[in-house]
């Protein structure tokens, strides 16, 4: 009977604890932070999905310090560009020694910090633990880079993922995190818990397309996107409970301490005001009598280029004040034009060196730069800009980029009301509507994520070893 019980539990995909009891827990952590660190250390391989400003950096530093003390080895913290410098300063603040590294002259033991772009400089066998800060960035890498990072993590005993947006609009993106932790892979998650709404497509072909999208070239990813447009994945009706039990076996999610049963205390966000601006072009598109909504990415991109001057002039007027502001753009020409129009604005570009980008981020955070112009994919992850309460961004199909851009400023620790100006043209109506739809869907999803995970945590495993009383009539 005991063997059968173990067999049933092995099928539950709940995993097991491969960590240890914390060796050190500093008093400066809040109660909910201590609970998350304690749980993640005992699990050994875990994910913390905590909202912006809830202290993921001190939590991962304390986690790394415990791993270092337990193994007397090295722990590597991967961060987005420029967040490494911020993490190093946080280490000094919390009296945890950590240093940035390029893979050279590694100490016998210690906590090292590196950008994701420096992954190729390190050997996973040199580390006892690895932390992926802003781990949602995993799904944005190319298939080869994502596989390389997953393989790197697979060779380290202890692993921790930290992010605020684990799966912005799609449950199945949780498979990316699970795979990095050594659990179910992305394709396995689809085949076990999800089904396609389009019954005409063969399930095995859908799973193969998903696998090829993760490991293949551009055409493989395009084929998967087309398949996703034809039919959408949804949780199997009978798999909803097991799915959330599986997720909460390796992850914890919270947007505020009360999500975990603790008092919110000072963790209250200030008001945020979203202001939607529709810019009217001076002239209609060529061959048109009036402006009509753009259809498809090509028409949308043409619309943005055609209305470049009007949109940039509108933004320049919005940030014509003396307070800090950050302007998020999507095209190089947008950034160049905005930097020209806004007095004293500094643009951070892709070709800039890592040192130049970090210097600009630091100057903006300390008030030396009033207006920063930047693309979301360059600096939207992990940076703390609570000194700034004005965010301006163009409408975009990417909700995660929008969310991360806003949360650089609208986060715990912000004292002022944050004004978010969203700019779109008359022709970008579909982009604007899609952005609002995704925002609403993401809010509902994370609320459901927290609620379902908390419910799943209260479900006890069945005790199949209990004796059963046979009815007398048998």
Give the pLDDT of residue 12. 53
Q: Where are the domains of the chain?
A: 8-265+450-456, 272-439
Consecutive H or E run containing 304: helix 296-306
Give the pLDDT of residue 134. 82
Same fold, 8-265+450-456 and 272-439: yes
Using only C-alpha atoms, the chain has a radius of gyration, in whole angstroms, of 24
Give the pLDDT of residue 212. 56
End-to-end CA distance of the chain: 22
User: pLDDT tens digits, residue range 435-462?
Assistant: 778 777 777 777 777 777 777 666 444 4
Give the pLDDT of residue 289. 54
Give the pLDDT of residue 190. 84
* Residue 11: CB atoms within 10 Å: 8
Q: Name the region of 287 (left: φ>0; alpha: ψ -120 to 50; beta: rest).
A: left
Beta-carbon contacts of residue 370 (< 8 Å; ≥ 6 apart)? 322, 323, 324, 325, 344, 345
Give the pLDDT of residue 213. 53
DSSP-derived secondary structure letter, 166: S
Task: Give the span between the Cα atoms of 37 and 19, in whole angstroms.
Answer: 12
Assign domain 272-439 to its CATH superfamily: P-loop containing nucleotide triphosphate hydrolases (3.40.50.300)
Burial label for 226, CB within 10 Å (0-12, 13-18, 19+), is: exposed
Task: Give the span between the Cα atoms of 339 and 361, in whole angstroms.
Answer: 16
> Which CATH number is associated with domain 8-265+450-456?
3.40.50.300
Give the pLDDT of residue 463. 44
DSSP β-ladder status, 371-374 and 74-79 = unpaired
User: Quick check: 431 and 439 in contact, CB under 8 A?
Assistant: no
Beta-carbon contacts of residue 73 (< 8 Å; ≥ 6 apart)? 67, 109, 127, 128, 129
pTM: 0.78
Q: Which residue stretches of 231-291 are H helix?
A: 240-248
Q: Which residues of the chain have pLDDT under 50?
A: 200-203, 218-219, 221-231, 459-465
């Amino acid at each position: 009977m005991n063997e059968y019980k173990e067999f049933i539990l092995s099928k539950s995909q709940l995993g097991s604890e491969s960590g240890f009891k914390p060796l050190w827990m500093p008093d400066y952590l809040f109660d909910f932070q201590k609970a998350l660190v304690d749980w993640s250390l005992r699990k050994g391989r875990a994910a913390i999905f905590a909202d912006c400003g809830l202290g993921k950096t001190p939590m991962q530093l304390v986690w790394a310090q415990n791993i270092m003390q337990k193994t007397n080895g090295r722990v590597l913290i991967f961060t987005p560009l420029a967040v490494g410098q911020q993490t190093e300063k946080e280490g000094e603040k919390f009296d945890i020694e950590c240093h940035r590294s390029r893979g050279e002259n590694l100490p016998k033991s210690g906590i090292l910090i590196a950008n994701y772009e420096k992954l190729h400089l390190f050997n996973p066998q040199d580390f006892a633990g690895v932390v992926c800060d802003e781990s949602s960035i995993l799904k944005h890498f190319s298939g080869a880079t994502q596989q390389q990072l997953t393989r790197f993590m697979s060779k380290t005993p202890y692993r921790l993922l930290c992010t605020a947006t684990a799966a912005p609009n799609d449950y199945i993106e949780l498979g990316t995190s699970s795979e990095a932790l050594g659990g179910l892979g992305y394709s396995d998650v689809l085949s076990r818990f999800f089904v396609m709404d389009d019954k005409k497509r063969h399930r095995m072909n859908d799973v193969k397309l998903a696998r090829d999208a993760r490991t293949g070239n551009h055409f493989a990813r395009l084929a998967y996107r087309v398949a996703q447009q034809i039919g959408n994945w949804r949780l199997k009706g009978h798999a909803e409970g097991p799915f959330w039990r599986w997720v909460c076996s390796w992850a914890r999610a919270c947007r505020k301490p009360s999500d975990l049963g603790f008092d919110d205390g000072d963790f209250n966000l200030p008001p945020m005001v979203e202001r939607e601006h529709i810019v009217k072009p001076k002239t209609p598109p060529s061959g048109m009598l009036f402006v009509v909504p753009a259809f498809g990415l090509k028409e949308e991109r043409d619309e943005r280029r055609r209305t470049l001057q009007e949109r940039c002039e509108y933004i320049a007027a919005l940030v014509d004040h003396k307070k800090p502001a950050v302007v998020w753009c999507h095209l190089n020409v947008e950034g160049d034009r905005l930097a020209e129009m806004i007095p004293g604005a500094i643009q951070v570009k892709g070709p800039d060196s890592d040192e130049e980008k970090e210097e600009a981020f630091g100057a903006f955070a300390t008030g030396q730069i009033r207006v920063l112009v930047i693309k979301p994919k360059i600096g939207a992850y992990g940076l703390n800009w609570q000194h700034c309460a004005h965010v301006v961004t163009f409408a975009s199909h990417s909700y995660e980029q929008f969310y991360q851009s806003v949360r650089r400023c609208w986060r715990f620790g912000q004292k002022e009301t944050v004004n978010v100006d969203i700019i779109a043209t008359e022709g970008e109506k579909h982009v604007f509507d899609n952005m609002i739809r995704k925002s609403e869907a993401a809010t509902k999803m994370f609320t459901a994520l927290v609620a379902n995970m908390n419910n799943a945590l209260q479900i006890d495993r069945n005790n199949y070893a209990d004796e059963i009383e046979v009815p007398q009539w048998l």
